[in-house]
Copies of this chain bind each other. A is one copy, B any other.
Amino acid sequence: MDVRSLTYFVAVYEEQSFSLAARRCAVSQPSISAAIRQLEEHLDCQLFVRNARGVSPTAASDQIFPTAVRLIAEFGALKTIVRRPVATRPVRCAVMPGLSGERVSGFLKEAAIASPELYFELQRESSAADIMIVSEAALPEDQIFHPLWRDSYRAIAPVGHPLTMREEVTIAGFADDPVIVAHWTDAPGSPRRAFHDRGVQLARMSIAHSHQDALAMAAAGFGIAIAPSSEPLRSGLVSREIEDISVERNVGLSCARSYQLPSGLSIAVNICRLRWQSR
């Protein structure tokens, strides 16, 4: 079980064929067979169904494929992260509005634990920032992106609210209720953009100062809150996926390719990825 096996796996998955995968990897076909068999034994599950003309991936393959691609890429990128030590100056950090405050502070806290000498200048403008915590969709050009967590906007209502009883929650199902949001910008990946792209116009809408405020208002019965799934819920609230409008986004840390990420931040990135992205 190493990077080589995963590389073969990815090739087979994409080519849907052992032979073609072998050609792409420049090895013989039995090598692919053996590697996939070992992988299947190690994972204790079948990865491909062998058909007469090629193979077809199983559900297990679908599950591990994204991770396999990412792990291969990160292994290959290991040599690029060897950097020189960094000078200690304040890190100018721009935080995109509308993110889960819980997660952002959790990340910064880990960085502070890892490097107590590190300190931040939080700012709203992305100009002149060393690093940004931002949605991947809003990533400027020429920036390196380190994913931290993935969240989706969900509808949140107090227990007992009619919304929580429904089998499927759709945007039409609560368009008449008052909707409470914290941020309503038009940035890529934002819920407003997603709603707008589908022509949804919300009749009544309140804008709170923060997601937690929005949740508090929902708990008080003001309406249905829309907030990221990473925002912790107080008891008495229920969150439901909105079936027909998905606002999924990768949130992460971005920095210029030329910026040498201080080691404390690098450690925090890795801790948070382990904590929030491991299945």
Tell me whether A266 and B66 are in contact (CB under 8 A): yes
Residues of B within 8 A of A66 (CB): 263, 266-267, 269-271
Does A166 interact with chain B (Cβ within 8 Å)? no
Say how far A139's CB is from chain B's closest CB, in angstroms.
20
Chain A, 3-52, CB within 8 A of any chain B CB: 3-4, 42-45
Q: Given A71-B75, A278-B77, are A43 and B83 also a contact pair (CB < 8 Å)? A: yes
Interface of A is mostly: helix
Does A246 interact with chain B (Cβ within 8 Å)? no
Does A114 interact with chain B (Cβ within 8 Å)? yes
Does A207 interact with chain B (Cβ within 8 Å)? no
Cβ-neighbour of A3 out of B3, B68, B270 (below 8 A) = B3
Q: Given A1-B75, A44-B79, are A270 and B279 also a contact pair (CB < 8 Å)? A: no
Q: Which of A56-64, A130-138, A214-222, A249-257 contacts B (4 or more CB under 8 A)?
A: A56-64
Scoring A73, A75, A271 by chain B CB atoms within 10 A of each residue's CB, the highest score goes to A271
Tell me whether A69 and B3 are in contact (CB under 8 A): no
**Interface residue total, chain A, C-beta cutoff 8 A:** 45
In angstroms, Cα B3 to Cα A69, docked, is 15
Say how far A256's CB is from chain B's closest CB, in angstroms.
17
Does A113 interact with chain B (Cβ within 8 Å)? yes
Tell me whether B67 and A81 are in contact (CB under 8 A): yes
Does A105 interact with chain B (Cβ within 8 Å)? no
Cβ contacts A104-115/B at 8 Å (1 or 0 each): 000000100110
Tell me whether B2 and A67 are in contact (CB under 8 A): no
Find the B residue at minimum CB distance from A39.
B78
Does A84 interact with chain B (Cβ within 8 Å)? yes
In angstroms, Cα B77 to Cα A60, docked, is 14
Tell me whether A73 and B3 are in contact (CB under 8 A): no
Residues of B within 8 A of A196 (CB): none
Cβ-neighbour of A274 out of B79, B274, B278 (below 8 A) = B274
Cβ contacts A263-277/B at 8 Å (1 or 0 each): 100110111011100
12 extra interchain contacts, Cβ-Cβ under 8 A, other than A45-B82, A60-B83? A3-B3, A42-B79, A43-B78, A59-B85, A62-B85, A63-B82, A63-B263, A67-B270, A69-B270, A74-B274, A80-B279, A114-B275
